[in-house]
Amino acid sequence: MTASAVPSPRPGTGLEPSAPRAFPPDETAHDRRRLRQWFAGDATAGGVGRRRLLALLAATAAATALPGAGPARAAGPTIVKPLPSEWFVRHGTNAETRWEALRGTGHHTPNELFFVRNHTATPVLDAHDWRLRLWGSGLRGAPGEDRPVEFGYDDLRALPAVTRTVSVECAGNGRSHYTSQQGEAVSGTAWGLGAIGVARWRGVRLADVLRRAGLSSSAVDVQPRGLDAEYVSGGESLGRVRRPLPLAKALDDVLLAYEMNGEPLPYDHGYPVRVLVPSWVGIASVKWVGDIEVSAQPLLSPWNTAFYRLFGPAHPPEGSAPLTRQTLKSAFELASGATFPVGERQVLHGRSWSGAGAVARVDVSTDGGASWRPARLHDAGRAGTWTRWSVPWTPGAPGPAQLLARATDTAGRRQPDVAVPNTQGYLFDAVVRHPVTVVRRGRNTPPGGATP
Ligand SMILES: Nc1nc2c(c(=O)[nH]1)N[C@H]1C(S)=C(S)[C@@H](COP(=O)(O)O)O[C@H]1N2
Ligand SMILES: [Mo]
pLDDT bin (cut points 50, 70, 90) of residue 162 is: very high
- Nearest ligand, CA of residue 271? 1
Closest C-alpha to 340, from 291, 246, 403: 403
CB atoms within 10 A of CB 444: 7
CB atoms within 10 A of CB 376: 12
116 lines ligand 1 (CB under 6 A): yes
Co-location of 156 and 249 in the same domain:
yes
Provide CB contacts within 8 A for 389, sequence distance 6+.
Answer: 349, 350, 351, 352, 362, 364, 375, 376, 377, 378, 405
Dist. CA 122 → ligand 1 center (Å): 10
Query: What ligand 1 atom has the least distance to the C-alpha of 172?
Result: 14
In this prediction, residue 371 carries a pLDDT of: 97
Query: What ligand 1 atom has the least distance to the C-alpha of 116?
Result: 19
Backbone φ and ψ for 59, nearest 5 degrees, come out as -65, -35
Co-location of 333 and 296 in the same domain:
no
pLDDT exceeds cutoff 70 at 20: no
- In a domain, residue 309? The reply is no
Q: Which of 270, 304, 338 is the last residue of a domain?
A: 304
- In a domain, residue 124? The reply is yes
pTM of the predicted protein model = 0.88
- In a domain, residue 219? The reply is yes
Co-location of 296 and 333 in the same domain:
no
- In a domain, residue 408? The reply is yes
115 lines ligand 1 (CB under 6 A): yes
Dist. CA 83 → ligand 1 center (Å): 17
- What is the average pLDDT across 47-60? 67
Co-location of 52 and 157 in the same domain:
yes
In this prediction, residue 22 carries a pLDDT of: 37
98 lines ligand 1 (CB under 6 A): no
Task: Give the C-alpha separation, 205 to 160, whole Å.
Answer: 8
Task: Give the C-alpha separation, 102 to 108, whole Å.
Answer: 10
Q: What is the CATH number of the domain that holds 386?
A: 2.60.40.650
- Per-residue pLDDT tens for 230-246? 999 889 999 999 999 99
**116, 117, 122: residue to mutate for ligand 1 pocket, most atoms within 8 A of CB:** 117
CB atoms within 10 A of CB 282: 22
Co-location of 32 and 121 in the same domain:
yes
- In a domain, residue 15? The reply is no
Co-location of 75 and 186 in the same domain:
yes
Closest C-alpha to 430, from 413, 410, 406: 406
CB atoms within 10 A of CB 58: 14
pLDDT exceeds cutoff 80 at 277: yes
- In a domain, residue 87? The reply is no
In this prediction, residue 38 carries a pLDDT of: 66
Q: What is the CATH number of the domain that holds 278?
A: 3.90.420.10
Task: Give the C-alpha separation, 116 to 189, whole Å.
Answer: 12
pLDDT exceeds cutoff 90 at 72: no
- In a domain, residue 322? The reply is no
Ranges 71-75, 293-297, 374-378: which has the least confidence: 71-75
Average pLDDT, the chain: 88
In this prediction, residue 148 carries a pLDDT of: 85
Domain count, the chain: 2
Q: What is the 3-state secondary structure (H, E, C) of the chain?
A: CCCCCCCCCCCCCCCCCCCCCCCCHHHHHHHHHHHHHHHCCCCECCCCCHHHHHHHHHHHHCCCCCHHHCCCCCCCCCCCCCCCCCCEEEECCEEEECHHHHCCCCCCCCHHHCCECCCCCCCCCCCCCCEEEEECCCECCCCCCCCCEEEEHHHHHCCCCEEEEEEEECCCCCCHHHHHHHCCCCCCCCCCCCCEEEEEEEEEEHHHHHHHHCECCCCCEEEEEECCCCCEECCEECCCCECCEEHHHHHHCCEEEEEECCEECCHHHCCCCEEECCCECHHHCCCCEEEEEEECCCECCHHHCCCCCCCCCCCCCCCCCCCCECCEEEEECCCCCEEEECCCCEEEEEEEEECCCCEEEEEEECCCCCCCEECEECCCCCCCCCEEEEEEECCCCCEEEEEEEEEEECCCCECCCCCCCCCCCCCCCCCCEEEEEEECCCCCCCCCCCCC
Q: Which of 304, 339, 372 is the last residue of a domain?
A: 304
Structural domain harbouring 434: 329-439
Dist. CA 358 → ligand 2 center (Å): 22
In this prediction, residue 9 carries a pLDDT of: 31
Dist. CA 189 → ligand 2 center (Å): 9
- Per-residue pLDDT tens for 370-426? 999 999 999 999 999 999 999 999 999 999 999 999 999 999 999 999 999 999 999
- In a domain, residue 444? The reply is no
Dist. CA 223 → ligand 1 center (Å): 15
Q: Are residues 141 and 148 in contact, defined by beta-carbon separation less than 8 angstroms?
A: no
Co-location of 337 and 294 in the same domain:
no
Co-location of 249 and 395 in the same domain:
no
pLDDT exceeds cutoff 80 at 94: yes
pLDDT exceeds cutoff 70 at 25: no
